[in-house]
Amino acid sequence: MPEVGGDPPVSVSRAVDAYLHHASIELGLARNTILAYAADLARFADYLQRRSVAGPADVLREHVTGFVRRLERQGLSARSRTRCLVSVRRWLRYAAAEGWLEGDPMQGVASPRLPRKLPKILRPEETAALIEAADGATPLGLRDRAMLEVLYGAGLRVSELVELPLAGLDRRGGLLRVTGKGNRERVVPVGQLALDALEAYLGEARPALLGGRSDMADALFVTRRGAPMTRQNFFDRLRRLARIAGIDVRRVSPHVLRHAFATDLLEGGADLRAVQDMLGHADLSTTQIYTHVSRSRLRDTVERRHPRGEARRGRSAG
C-alpha cells in the first residue's frame, strides 16, 4: 500500500512486493508471468542495492541505462533484456501511480532491437499426419486426437487447452469458452472434425479414463489416472506422435500447431481481425506476423514446385 503523511519512503523491496501482489491479485496475471516479473525485478533490485538506491523515489534514468548495460555484459539475449525492461517499466509506472516516484526514469530508454523471427510451422499435410498418428482404437488415442483437433482447429495456447473445463464446451453450438492470458475470456468456434473427435472422446474415452471417479469430472481432458491433463504430459504425447508420423520432434510443439492454425486460416482468406479474436491477441501487430509466415511459405512453395524454382532447376541441372 502507498505511504501517506509522515511515513518513511517506501523501500525498493517493499515496492516490488507490492507490485507483484497487485499484478497477481488485481490484474489477475498468470503465475508464470508473475514469476518472470519477480525474477526480472530481483535483478533490478540487486543492481539498485549495489548503488545504494533506497527506494523507487531515488531511481534515475542513469540507473535504468546502467542496468541495461549490465545485462548486456552478462550475456543476456536481446529478447531477455527487452523482457527485463518491460518488467522494470511496469514496476516504475506502478510506483508512480502509487505516489512513490516522480517523473519517468524510463523516458528516452530504447529497448534492444529484436530480429524478426518467424514462428515455426507445419505444412497442412504434416499436421494431418500428426493427428492421424493418434490411435483411434484406444482411450488415450481418442483423447490425443481430440486434443490435437481442438488445438489445431481452435488455435489455443497449450495452457488454455489443458485447462478447458467440461462446461466450456458448447457441443450444440460448436463453441469453446476459453480463459486466456490475463483471465480474459473469449469464445472460439470449433470445426466439424474437432467436434467429431470430441464426441468420440467424450462418448467412449473419457468415461474409460475417469473410471467412475467423479471428483475429476470438471476437466475436459483427463489422463489415464483420471486426473486433469497437464502441459508436460501433453507435450510428451505430442513428441511421441511426431515420431510415429515421421516428423522431426524438434519441429513440433503445441505452439507450432497454434501457429499452423493461424497461418492456414490466413492462407485460406480469413480476415486478420477475426484471426486476432480467435487467437486472443490483445494487439493486432502480434497477429500480423502470420502474414509474413504465409508469404514465406508461399515463396518456399514456388521454389519447390515452380518450373523455374531452385529445387526444380537443381534437378534439371543434375
Fold (CATH) for 12-97: DNA polymerase; domain 1 (1.10.150)
- The arithmetic mean of pLDDT across residues 201-214, rounded, is 86
pLDDT band at 11 (very low <50, low <70, confident <90, very high): very high
Q: What was the pLDDT predicted at 216?
A: 59
Question: pLDDT tens, 142-192?
Answer: 999 999 999 888 888 888 899 999 999 998 898 889 888 777 788 888 888
Catalytic residues: 157, 181, 255, 258, 281, 290
Q: What was the pLDDT predicted at 115?
A: 58
User: Average pLDDT over the chain, rounded to whole?
Assistant: 82
* Superfamily (CATH) of domain 124-305: Intergrase catalytic core (1.10.443.10)
Which ranges in the chain are annotated with CATH 1.10.443.10?
A: 124-305
Asked if the model's pLDDT at residue 202 lies above 70, the reply is yes
- The arithmetic mean of pLDDT across residues 287-293, rounded, is 56
- The arithmetic mean of pLDDT across residues 225-238, rounded, is 91
Q: What was the pLDDT predicted at 59?
A: 93
Which segment of 20-29, 291-300, 302-311 scores lowest on mean pLDDT? Answer: 302-311
Cβ 123 vs Cβ 263: under 8 Å: no
Radius of gyration of the chain (CA): 24
Q: What was the pLDDT predicted at 301?
A: 44
Range of 110-114, 250-254, 292-296, 300-304 with top mean pLDDT: 250-254
Q: What was the pLDDT predicted at 154?
A: 84
Asked if the model's pLDDT at residue 297 lies above 50, the reply is no
Q: Classify strands 185-189 and 175-179 as parallel, antiparallel or unpaired.
A: antiparallel
Q: How far apart are CA 67 and CA 45, in angstroms?
A: 10
Question: pLDDT tens, 35-82?
Answer: 999 999 999 999 999 999 999 999 999 999 999 999 989 988 888 888
Q: Tell me the pTM.
A: 0.57
Q: What was the pLDDT predicted at 304?
A: 46
Which ranges in the chain are annotated with CATH 1.10.150?
A: 12-97
Sign of the CA dihedral running 139, 144, 145, 149? positive
Q: What was the pLDDT predicted at 80?
A: 86
Comparison of pLDDT for 273 and 60, the residue scoring more: 60
Q: What was the pLDDT predicted at 185?
A: 84
Cβ 81 vs Cβ 112: under 8 Å: yes
And the C-alpha cell for 133?
498418428
Asked if the model's pLDDT at residue 128 lies above 60, the reply is yes
